[in-house]
Amino acid sequence: MRRYGYSIFCDDIRSEAGGKLSFIGCYNAVMMTAQNFPLVLSKFCIHFHVFSPATQPYTSVTARCYVPGEPEPIAEEPIEVPGLLDQQKLLDGLPKNIAVPPYIVVASSLVFSPLEIRQPGLIHIRVVINEGPDELHLGSLQVISASA
């Protein structure tokens, strides 16, 4: 079993009653803009989930966001994870007769307001788990100009 994750790229994330989230203006694989580069988005959000087998608990998770033309991440945010003892307590509370192996899930959002994108290319979201050394890729969004 391996770690994996996914991301939702959108214009806004709203908290709703009952702990629900609403994702506004979600992108599929491509963001096509009528603006020329460089462009500035007034708001841009990424919501992500990271799944780790229960046999590989988290000690730390750090999210990194990369944009086209920037070799270094434009954001590097530590994500709060439950302590190892709390993760174990959660697992101990699960039914013992389930056939699916348990995973520990961490979810968080990155909100950029504003976000400058200097050139076409890919926006990437990655996480470093337990201080690395590798990054787990959680998805990307291609940004292109409609006039290109």
Overall average pLDDT of the 29-52 stretch: 94
Domain range for 129 is: 4-145
- Predicted pLDDT of residue 99: 78
The verdict on pTM exceeding 0.85 is: yes
- Predicted pLDDT of residue 148: 59
CATH number of the domain that residue 140 is part of: 2.60.40.1930
Q: How confident is the model at residue 98 (pLDDT cuts 50, 70, 90)?
A: confident
Whole-number CA gyration radius for the chain: 17
Listed residue (58, 67, 72, 47) closest to 128, CA to CA: 58
Cβ density class 51-81: b for 16+ within 10 Å, e for less: bbeeeebbeebbbbbbbbeeeebeeeeebeb
Overall average pLDDT of the 30-35 stretch: 92
- Predicted pLDDT of residue 126: 97
- In the predicted structure, residue 72 carries a pLDDT above the cut 70: yes
- Predicted pLDDT of residue 27: 97
Domains in the chain, number? 1
